[in-house]
Every structure is written in structure tokens, then in C-alpha cells.
Amino acid sequence: MKNIKTIQFDFGFKVELNLNNNIKTTNSKKAQEDLVFELMDSLTSPIIVYKSAWQDAIPKDLLSKITISRMICQLKREKMASITEVVAYMMPRTFEAPLPSEWVNIYTWCGFQYATIFNNQNQRKEMKEAMLDIIPEKLSDHEQGLLKYLRIWIYDKRRKALKAKLKEVKRIDKHKPVKIQEKLFEE
């Protein structure tokens, strides 16, 4: 048998077969819009922090790393906030009052994960030695559940804030006066 050369045309949608033999179509334009929204979410969404008088005390270095952390989460296809965002969210809360022990474990574990990702090898070694007695090696199942819930909650809040921001921009653009072109050609 000869190899048959085939040509596949892209008509703007994908067809996926379910186990129930139902045909599910997805619009590629919708997929592209979702991709653009995901990028906008990673790059321009507001940073969600705990409402407190201490929210201005979050270090600028930590805040500057949130965008790259979001991009890493997007590459991993995680529909959750990054560990860096969790640290930024929890930091003002830690200044107000003592946390319950499970949240202390979550905060210190997340802080150490952030530090190991964004610091060089020498700093990591020094931090690990200094924090060895403080950080838990592993979070319990309950603590992992609380962390996952917090990450999803932060992710949902930031996406809602971005959608509200985009709606506001569209509303302002609709009411903007349109300049009418008076002459098509100069004489």
C-alpha cells in the first residue's frame, strides 16, 4: 500500500468525541479568547491581599514576583493562585494577631517555598538551616486542603476583579464620543 497524503483543513472548531458518542464542538475563537484572558489575568489582575492596616507593609520584592509566579502556575495549568500570592495575602494578617497553628504551618511552608524558588543557591542553604526547626517538612492533609481552598479563593477573587475592570473599560469606551471624519480627501 502506498502512503496517502492527506490535508487537514481548519474550519475554526475542534471536534472531540465523548464516551457517550456525543459530538462536542469547541469554537477556536472562544479558545483564543480564553487564552488571551488567561494571559491578561496573569499579567494585569490586581493582587488580592488581606484587608488590614498592614497591607502596605508587604515587601515590593514579593509583589514584583507575583506576575512570574502566576505565569508559572499558568504553564502548569493550575487554576489556583500561586504560592507567592498566598504569602502576599497572608502577610498582613500575620501582623494583626497570632494565627492558629495550622495556618502558621501553611504560612511558613509557603514562605519557605517562595524563598527557595526566588533566591540563589547560597541563600537557600542559609535559609534552610535557619528555618529547619520552624518549617514543617510536609503539610498535613487538612492543611493541604486549607491551602488549596485559599489558593482557589484568591484565584476566583482576582479573576472577578479583572472581569469587573474589563467591564468598566468597555462601559467607558461605549460612552466615549466618536469623532466623525469630515473630509475623506485633502484638496
Question: Higher model confidence: residue 110 or residue 172?
Answer: 110
Residue pair 86/92 in contact (Cβ under 8 Å)? The answer is: no
Quote the DSSP letter at residue 82.
-
Question: Higher model confidence: residue 33 or residue 51?
Answer: 51
Q: Tell me whether residue 19 is in a domain.
A: no
Is the confidence at residue 122, as pLDDT, over 90?
no
Q: Tell me whether residue 172 is in a domain.
A: no
Q: What pTM value is reported for the model?
A: 0.72
Instruction: Taking residues 166-175, report their average pLDDT.
Output: 76
Q: Tell me whether residue 179 is in a domain.
A: no
Q: Tell me whether residue 74 is in a domain.
A: yes
Instruction: Taking residues 115-131, report their average pLDDT.
Output: 75
As beta bridge partners, residue 108 has none
Instruction: Taking residues 112-121, report their average pLDDT.
Output: 82
Q: Tell me whether residue 15 is in a domain.
A: no
User: Mean pLDDT in the chain?
Assistant: 80
Instruction: Taking residues 98-118, report their average pLDDT.
Output: 90
Q: Tell me whether residue 131 is in a domain.
A: yes
pLDDT for residue 176: 62
Is the confidence at residue 145, as pLDDT, over 60?
yes
Q: Tell me whether residue 44 is in a domain.
A: no
Q: Total domain count for the chain?
A: 1
User: Can you list the positions of beta strands (E) in 10-160?
Assistant: 13-17, 23-27
Domain limits at 62? 56-153
Q: Report d(CA 81, CA 98) in Å as an integer.
A: 24
As beta bridge partners, residue 26 has 14
Q: Tell me whether residue 30 is in a domain.
A: no
Task: State how far Cα 32 lies from the chain centre.
Answer: 18
